[in-house]
């Protein structure tokens, strides 16, 4: 064959000194290599290649490496490089040209050639792992067919390890049921606080542990974002301020997500992502109502298979949210390109959520519609509307304070700091007073605090950084009512009765 082997595709990338050791992940890959297929599938920037390369250097198995790219959509080129990767660890394998006609056309029987490869591999009893990295780069059905054949007919000693952003068209369900599939996904690839601290320290940034924990919480352990934060944190005089305001609209994060994720999607997927990004959590029905996409359910299945930063919120994978930083990017792009459409999408979301009886979730969208009358109608329907109006009046002049909800909102919208006032309005609407039955318990605890549970501390930390209950529910993947329960429990243990007092007391005690 005339194809030239690109030898750099056959070697894992070298280790980098700043990357933390991840023994728990290496152990998981070790266990996976005992079965037929290990699938490492996650969005961009989760460290798939880094983890696989570290494992290839660490494992006691022979590990053949093949980094795939778009050129491997040519089946003969793919098979030629696959054989070359295996030959680096099994010199008895024949050259592909020995059993494929060099002058053959694309109709040649490559499956027969693959059978010969597998027969040759079977002659060597030593276990061999074949690592295929970046499989998402290949979309050719014939290449996928060769992979399926390889997987189904590989000799016992050959194990397949795949790194990809998109789940491949392989019989994953059958392998899962048979116990022959190990899956490593975003949840296991997320950096924990210790790993994030090690990465930041190697980049020259050593923020206090509490800030590291907050950064991990904000980024949801996404390695790429923590790495980019570390580059910006090094030598920064006020790391706390940087971490507090670090979001998906940070310039470096924005560039990475735009180039590596968003612009690689077809136009119809980009449109759906941008329009559905106004929703904090959604199912197919809600997403369809807001975006107008009649096949929203199929689109969500497509996004999930493609690992497009879609986080399932239930066991049945019916309700979702976007990763917070990806949602930040999508909302930024939507407002930048179509502010008029963004306002209309928020109106649709508010109506749809109100129709479902979820007025608390509808109110933020009503505000973001930019329409005082529309927002006022939803505010007035809330049972605690008077508490909300009281907050609205605070920054207004005396003559402005006498108006109804629509007049108050019209006076506030467009002013500097209006969004911050609205956040306080939402907090007032959702900040239930502690039940009277708790008063005696609070008094008893003033002498000595009961210990807070881990979940109560998590909720308390997010309250202290200014997140609303709905945003906390999204971050922790729990229901709004569960957040309120944990918050009330924390208030009781701290002997306070509001979010502001809870945050101040928590800081005073060094809990956040």
- Taking only the tens place, the pLDDT of each residue in 199-250 is 999 888 888 998 999 899 889 999 999 999 998 888 788 888 898 889 999 9
Q: What is the pLDDT of residues 264-308, one digit of tens each?
A: 999 999 999 999 999 999 999 999 999 999 999 999 999 999 999
How many other CB atoms are there within 10 angstroms of residue 483's CB atom? Answer: 26
Confidence of residue 254 (pLDDT cuts 50, 70, 90): very high
Q: Give the full edge-to-edge strand order of the sheet including 62-67.
A: 62-67, 128-133, 158-164, 37-41, 181-184
What the block records as the tokens of 462 is 């997010």
438-508 topology per CATH: Arc Repressor Mutant, subunit A (1.10.10)
Confidence of residue 433 (pLDDT cuts 50, 70, 90): very low
pLDDT at 39 over 50: yes
Residues of the chain with CATH 3.40.50.300: 7-189
Residues of the chain with CATH 1.10.10.10: 438-508
* Global confidence as pTM: 0.79
Q: What residues are paired with 183 via a beta bridge?
A: 39
7-189 topology per CATH: Rossmann fold (3.40.50)
What secondary structure does DSSP assign to 248-260, as a single string? TTSHHHHHHHHHH
* Average pLDDT of the chain, as a whole number: 88
Residues 67, 49: Cα–Cα separation, whole Å: 9
pLDDT at 81 over 70: yes
Which pLDDT value is given to residue 439?
41
Identify which has the larger pLDDT, 144 or 126: 144
Residues 26, 44: Cα–Cα separation, whole Å: 20
């Amino acid at each position: 064959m005339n194809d030239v082997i690109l030898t750099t595709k056959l070697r894992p990338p070298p280790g980098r000194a700043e990357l933390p050791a991840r023994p728990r992940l290496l152990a998981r890959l070790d266990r996976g290599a005992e079965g037929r297929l290990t699938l490492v599938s996650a969005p961009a920037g989760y460290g798939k290649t880094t983890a696989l390369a570290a494992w290839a250097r660490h494992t006691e198995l022979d590990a053949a490496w093949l980094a795939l790219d778009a050129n491997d959509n040519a089946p003969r080129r793919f098979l030629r490089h696959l054989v070359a990767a295996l030959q680096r660890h099994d010199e008895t394998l024949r050259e592909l040209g020995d059993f494929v006609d060099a002058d053959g056309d694309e109709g040649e029987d490559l499956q027969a050639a693959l059978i010969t490869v597998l027969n040759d591999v079977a002659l060597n009893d030593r276990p061999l792992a074949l690592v295929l990295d970046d499989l998402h780069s290949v979309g050719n059905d014939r290449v996928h067919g060769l992979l399926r054949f390889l997987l189904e007919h590989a000799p016992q000693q050959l194990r397949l390890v795949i790194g990809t952003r998109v789940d491949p068209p392989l019989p994953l369900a059958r392998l899962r049921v048979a116990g022959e599939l190990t899956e490593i996904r975003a949840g296991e690839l997320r950096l924990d606080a210790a790993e994030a601290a090690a990465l930041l320290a190697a980049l020259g940034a050593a923020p206090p542990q509490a800030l590291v924990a907050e950064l991990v919480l904000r980024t949801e352990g996404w390695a790429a974002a923590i790495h980019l934060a570390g580059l910006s944190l090094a030598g920064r005089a006020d790391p706390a301020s940087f971490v507090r305001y670090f979001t998906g609209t940070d310039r470096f994060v924005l560039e990475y997500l735009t180039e590596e994720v968003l612009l690689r999607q077809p136009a119809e997927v980009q449109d759906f992502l941008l329009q559905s990004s106004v929703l904090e959590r959604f199912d197919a029905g809600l997403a369809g109502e807001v975006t107008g996409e009649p096949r929203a359910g199929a689109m969500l299945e497509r996004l999930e298979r493609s690992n497009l930063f879609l986080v399932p919120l239930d066991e049945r994978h019916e309700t979702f949210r976007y990763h917070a930083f990806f949602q930040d990017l999508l909302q930024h792009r939507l407002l930048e390109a179509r502010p008029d459409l963004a306002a209309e999408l928020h109106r649709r979301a508010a109506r749809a959520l109100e129709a479902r009886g979820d007025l608390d979730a509808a109110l933020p969208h009503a505000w973001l519609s930019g329409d005082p009358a529309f927002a006022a109608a939803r505010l007035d329907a809330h049972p605690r509307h008077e508490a909300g109006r009281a907050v609205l009046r605070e920054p207004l002049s005396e003559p402005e304070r006498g108006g109804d909800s629509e007049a108050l909102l019209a006076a506030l919208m467009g002013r500097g700091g209006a969004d911050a006032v609205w956040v306080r309005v939402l907090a007032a609407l959702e900040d239930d007073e502690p039940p009277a039955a708790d008063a005696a318990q609070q008094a008893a605890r003033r002498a000595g605090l009961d210990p807070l549970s881990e979940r109560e501390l998590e909720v308390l930390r997010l309250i202290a950084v200014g997140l609303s209950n709905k945003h906390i529910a999204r971050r922790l993947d729990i229901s709004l009512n569960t957040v309120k329960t944990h918050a009330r429990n924390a208030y009781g243990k701290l002997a306070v009765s509001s979010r502001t007092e809870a945050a101040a007391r928590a800081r005073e005690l060094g809990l956040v």
